[in-house]
Structure 1
Amino acid sequence: MAWWQILLLTLYAGLEILDELQIYSSLNTPVGAGLIAGLIMGDLPTGLFIGASMQLMVLGVGTFGGASRIDATTGTVLATAFSTTVKGMTPQAAISSIAVPVAAIMVELDVLARFANTYFSHRIDHLIDQDKINYKAVERNVLYGAIPWSLSRAIPVFIALAFGQGLVQTIANALNGEFLWLGQGLTVAGAALPAVGFAILLRYLPVKKHVAYLILGFTITTLFSVLFTGLQTLGTGLAAVNKGFTSIFNGLPMLAIAMLGLAFAILHYKNISISRPAPTKSAESASNEEASSSVNNDEGEITDDEL
């Protein structure tokens, strides 16, 4: 791994947490991390594959719960870097053996960064309690709070990239050697993790209320997949028989399926807006009670009102 790759990935790790806290450009997500790390490492498909897999894994757990959560973004950065440079490390194995453990360990460093920021908070409180408030000093200490956040991500990434490649290569060799059974198991686990995350997400979405849309989306995706797979197979066969056949059959247009989903979502939103009367104070109380009872009856399912 070149020194400039280590430097750029370290800088990105320090900036992505600030993006997550204030800027919200979406480059702080696992998919964004896979994009950036893939470009830096010169292997964009691997980066996007790992990023998308980690994104699916945290779909059901990344939006609910406490302040600190698993850092799938940092895990994606390291998994992409090692998967593209370590011989014998497949993306699936990198997800299960590097990305997931790193994401879990980073919870502790996230808590450490929060503790470190209390120092600047106390300094700001002290400045405000003075007879003559030094506003410039208050502003500086507010900005200083970004330093622990950045270092909590940049330092672990730098140490792992600068000194951990030999260790990861040794692990990869073992997983492809005498511990091949374990390596194959980690590969299967890495491939299954996105499905687990999506299942957790469905557990918390109002699926019972909107099961028709779930069935419709699954059916449309399946039909399109079969249709375009058949067209690609036909085109490949014609090209093999006739060398003059140069037409290209594209794969499944996921953007088209996404646009269909967006259209149904808009229609559903408009139907709700038209049919729902303006709530009164008593109606709001009844609605809250109904939502509360719905959560209890649906075994923890989160309803639209709560979202």
Structure 2
Amino acid sequence: MAWWQILLLTLYAGLEILDELQIYSSLNTPVGAGLIAGLIMGDMGTGLVIGASMQLMVLGVGTFGGASKIDATTGTVLATAFSVSVKGMSPQTAISSIAVPVAAIMVELDVLARFANTYFSHRIDHLIDQDHINYKAVERNVLYGALPWSLSRAIPVFIALAFGQKLVQTIANALNGDLMWLGTGLTVAGATLPAVGFAILLRYLPIKKHAAYLILGFTVTTLFSVLFSGLQALGAGVSAVNKGFTTAFVGLPMLAIAMIGLALAILHYKSIIGGNGGTGQKVVSQNVSSDVNNEGEITDDEL
């Protein structure tokens, strides 16, 4: 791993948390981290695989107030870097052995950053209590508050990248050698983590109320997947028999299926507000009362 790659990944780790707190450009998400880290490491495909897997894993994970959550973004950065630079480490193994443990450990550093930030908050309170408020000093301390956040991500990423590559290489060699059984298990675990994210998400969505849409979405996705896979196979067979047949059949992208779901959601929304003079007030009040009986479901009125 080159020194400039370590430097760029460290700088990104320090900036992405500030982006999450203020701008939220989506480059601070796991899939955004996979894209950036993949570009820096020269293997964008691996970065996107790891980033997308981590993004799916945390689909149903959220926080309320000042609570901390697992830092899947930092985990994605390190997993991508080591998966590309360490010989014999697949993206799935990197997800389960690096990304997930790092994401969990970063919870403690997130709490430490919040705790350290209170120092600047107290300084601001002290400055405001003065007879003559130094507004420039207040502004400086507000900006100083970004330092604990950035350092809480940049320092561990730098230490891991600068000094941890040999350790990770040793672990990868062991997982591909005497501990092959463990490496295979970690690969399977890494591949199933997106399903865990979907399970958490479905646990907190109002599935009981919208079960019909869940069934419809699953059925539409399955039907289109099977249909277009059959067309691809048919096209490959025809092109093998007839050399003049050059038409290429491509599969239906997930974006198209997502657009179908968006269209159905828009129609459903319009049907709700259309039946109440465009206000939707009566329907909202009815939904609030009906959702009380849906135990375990977090709906929009509770958020």
Q: TM-score, normalised by structure 2?
A: 0.94
Q: Which AA in structure 2 matches 1:299?
A: E
Cα 1:284–1:233, aligned 2, differ >3 Å: closer, same or farther?
closer
C-alpha deviation, 1:267, in angstroms: 1.1
Give ranges in structure 2 of 5+ residues lacking alignment. Answer: none
Deviations 1:221-245 (A, max 9, x none): 1111111111211222233334443
Q: Which AA in structure 2 matches 1:43?
A: D
Alignment of 1:223-234 (within 5 A): 223-234=223-234
Structure 1 CA distance, aligned partners of 2:84 and 2:9? 14
Structure 1 CA distance, aligned partners of 2:92 and 2:288? 45
C-alpha deviation, 1:251, in angstroms: 2.0
2:202 aligned with 1:209, yes or no?
no
Structure 1 CA distance, aligned partners of 2:43 and 2:151? 26
2:92 aligned with 1:96, yes or no?
no
C-alpha deviation, 1:169, in angstroms: 0.5
2:87 aligned with 1:121, yes or no?
no
Other-structure match for 1:178: 178
Structure 2 CA distance, aligned partners of 1:221 and 1:129? 61
Q: Which AA in structure 1 matches 2:176?
A: N
Segments ≥4 residues shifted beyond 6 Å: 283-286
Alignment of 1:44-55 (within 5 A): 44-55=44-55
**Residues 206 and 304, structure 1, Cα contact 8 Å, conserved in 2:** no
C-alpha deviation, 1:273, in angstroms: 1.6
Structure 1 CA distance, aligned partners of 2:219 and 2:298? 25
Count of aligned positions: 302
**Residues 120 and 144, structure 1, Cα contact 8 Å, conserved in 2:** yes
Other-structure match for 1:290: 289
Structure 2 CA distance, aligned partners of 1:302 and 1:269? 19
Deviations 1:28-71 (A, max 9, x none): 00011111111111111111111111111111123568621000
Cα 1:120–1:267, aligned 2, differ >3 Å: closer, same or farther?
same
C-alpha deviation, 1:153, in angstroms: 0.3
**Residues 225 and 252, structure 2, Cα contact 8 Å, conserved in 1:** yes
Secondary structure class of the residue paired with 2:238: helix
**Residues 62 and 70, structure 1, Cα contact 8 Å, conserved in 2:** no
| Pairwise CA RMSD | 2.1
Secondary structure class of the residue paired with 2:209: coil
Other-structure match for 1:67: 67
Give ranges in structure 1 of 5+ residues lacking alignment. Answer: none
C-alpha deviation, 1:285, in angstroms: 11
Alignment of 1:108-257 (within 5 A): 108-257=108-257
Other-structure match for 1:299: 295
Structure 1 CA distance, aligned partners of 2:254 and 2:65? 31
Q: Which AA in structure 2 matches 1:169?
A: Q
2:79 aligned with 1:76, yes or no?
no
Secondary structure class of the residue paired with 2:252: coil
Secondary structure class of the residue paired with 1:4: helix
Q: TM-score, normalised by structure 1?
A: 0.92
C-alpha deviation, 1:136, in angstroms: 0.6
2:39 aligned with 1:39, yes or no?
yes
